[in-house]
Structure 1
Amino acid sequence: MRQLLLLLCAATFFVSCENIEDNTSAFQGDIDGTFFQATAASGSKNLDRTYTFTGLNAEEKLELTVSQIGSGIYELGPNSENKAVFTDASGGVYSTEFSGGEGEIVVTRYDTAGPTQTGTFTFTAVRPGIDTIRVSRGLFFEVYFDNTMPSTDDEDPVDPTNAGTFVAEIDDQVFNTQIVSANSSSTNITITGVASGRSLSLKIPIDTTTGNFSLDQDYQASYIEGSDVEAASSGTIVVTAHNTTNKTIKGAFTFETQNHSITLGQFNVTYQ
């Protein structure tokens, strides 16, 4: 039955690809009724031995991660190592890793000569507390991927002032982060974004799992301007992924202080 489904998906895919030129890769889909088309597409092997295929244009990025290489149906959802992530023009991140996310990636052809993969995808992705998008009629055609393991050479350490991505809005104004740091102790991970004399800081337990966490003594957030520190009076930190081996963590956050409202927060960092 699954083989029949793969054949049907493949037939649908190649009908959809009638306008794609020979020997040209493609990565496209329909996002809430708006056509997305990548101007560049490629794939790579991750440290955890999953594979991520990325399509991007000048403003947006779509990433598909599957547990292995080869033809098959890869189910998406909060408890799956397969995932789809869309980043919009404003930097907002939608993921199938959040509650409500679901869908599937169907690899219809794996060409070892490239190596390349061809297939289709459809999914629902969530931006926690903000919005949900539906992606349909997605396809990737002969997307090349690098099958070598990424380097873990200690001679190329993480830049302590550029630990990854950290974005948010403060009082409805974009917080344009200039420095992102992420450090750990025996008990906590501290993630800080700095811009123009202001900082946002998150403190997360070193042994955190994925999930939604209300701010308390264990999960903390603060707004800092000069010597003034405003601790969060309420809020939430959402951890969507935490790899203790590779020391990577990502998620979202929102919180209130006495004088400020921090919203649309997202982080994706490597900590030391």
Structure 2
Amino acid sequence: MINKTTFLLFCLISTLLSCSNDIEVNTPGLQVAIDGELFISDIKEATLLDDGTIIISGSAGNKSLTITIPSSSVGSYKLDDQTHGEVAYTDASFKFLNKSGESSGTTTITNRTDNTISGTFNFINLKDEYGNAVTFQNGWFYRIPLIPGTIPTPETSEEEIAINPCLLNASMTGLIDLTEFIGDTHEAVIIGVEDASLRITATNDDEVIELVVPIDVVSGEYSLSGSGQYSATYSLNKDKSAAQSGSITITNHDTTTRCVNGTFTFATRNQHEITEGTFDFGY
């Protein structure tokens, strides 16, 4: 009698487990803990492009996530060794992206069929334009439907073909602790929506100078600080320090041609002196 009862109980448990597994296996999903808060995607799909790139995407309400990797083959793809494409997360009007040298993480494809893809992912320090960071833990996607896609060919107008000459000839120079600084790479971008600002950045080897002014700034001299409408920072080997004092002079700002130039000088909180600074940028 005991043996028969035990056998029947075993059969019942096996049947229940089998049903449970069937429900899990046949339910595609995408979810992840974002800074400890669970994100469960309502809409999810994986787009396979002509060149083999795959874009895994999910959304729920005003939140969306896209993970781009260069291949749909089973394996791991890491952000920090550049075998990974872009990761983008949008929460309302805030957009977070992976930043080279700052973000890390891995997407692992565990299974790929003709019609679905499954895997896991974790990311640390995705950043928005203000430097805020988010972290993704215990992320997974399961049997996400694969759909074919093509690489879009953007249409260009004559205005887009004509590149701003101020951007082509961008420059920033100065003295950092009496040593010459000449920017090798340059960037000027508009940040923010209300009370927008213009962020001007120049990089040279392991050094970075960044200036921020209002987008509608006019010619004149302004005091610099570590934050606010008029601010500046200097980085050496990723050690970033804000301006403690200083000034920036806008010589000319043409909002039609989007050209801005001027001079600057400031001292940082960690005792660096930036003097005889000049800049000439387009944006």
Class of the TM-score when normalised by the shorter of the 2 chains: 0.5 to 0.7
- Computed over aligned residues only, the root mean square deviation of the Cα atoms, in angstroms, reads 4.6
Contact 1:78–1:98 (8 Å) recurs in 2: no
Aligned with residue 235 of structure 1, among 228, 233, 236: 233
SS in 2 for 1:119: strand
Aligned residue identity for 1:214: I
Q: CA deviation at 1:233?
A: 4.1
Contact 1:99–1:126 (8 Å) recurs in 2: no
Q: C-alpha distance in 2, partners of 1:136/1:194? A: 28
SS in 2 for 1:105: strand
Structure 1 residues 148 and 91: CA distance shift in structure 2, 3 A: same
1:162-206 Cα offsets, whole Å, 9 max, x none, are xxxxxxxxxxxxxxxxxxxx957423465346857x54234457x
Q: How many residues align?
A: 197
| Map 1:30-41 → 2, pairs under 5 A | 30-41=33-44
| Map 1:65-214 → 2, pairs under 5 A | 65-77=68-80, 79-89=82-92, 91-95=94-98, 97-112=99-114, 114=115, 116-127=116-127, 130-152=131-153, 156-157=155-156, 185-188=167-170, 190-192=188-190, 199-203=196-200, 213-214=208-209
Aligned residue identity for 1:142: R
Aligned residue identity for 1:125: N
1:42-81 Cα offsets, whole Å, 9 max, x none, are 2335698632211111122222221211211222326443
Structure with more of its chain in helix, by fraction:
2
Q: C-alpha distance in 2, partners of 1:69/1:209? A: 37
> Identical aligned pairs, as a percentage?
17
Structure 1 residues 37 and 192: CA distance shift in structure 2, 3 A: same
Other-structure match for 1:223 = 214
Aligned residue identity for 1:143: I
Q: CA deviation at 1:133?
A: 3.7
Contact 2:30–2:140 (8 Å) recurs in 1: yes
- Give 5+ residue unaligned stretches, structure 2: 1-19, 171-186, 225-229, 236-241, 248-281
Contact 1:26–1:142 (8 Å) recurs in 2: yes
1:82-125 Cα offsets, whole Å, 9 max, x none, are 45333334515153x3434322211122122x2x3111122323
Q: CA deviation at 1:140?
A: 0.9
SS in 2 for 1:81: coil
Q: TM-score, normalised by structure 1?
A: 0.53
Q: 4+ runs of 1 displaced by more than 6 Å? A: 158-161, 208-212, 228-231, 254-258
Aligned residue identity for 2:107: I
Q: C-alpha distance in 2, partners of 1:106/1:35? A: 20
Structure 1 residues 31 and 199: CA distance shift in structure 2, 3 A: closer
Q: CA deviation at 1:32?
A: 2.8
Structure 1 residues 151 and 64: CA distance shift in structure 2, 3 A: closer
Q: Name the stretch that deviates more: 220-229 or 102-111.
A: 220-229
Larger radius of gyration: 2
Structure 1 residues 86 and 210: CA distance shift in structure 2, 3 A: farther
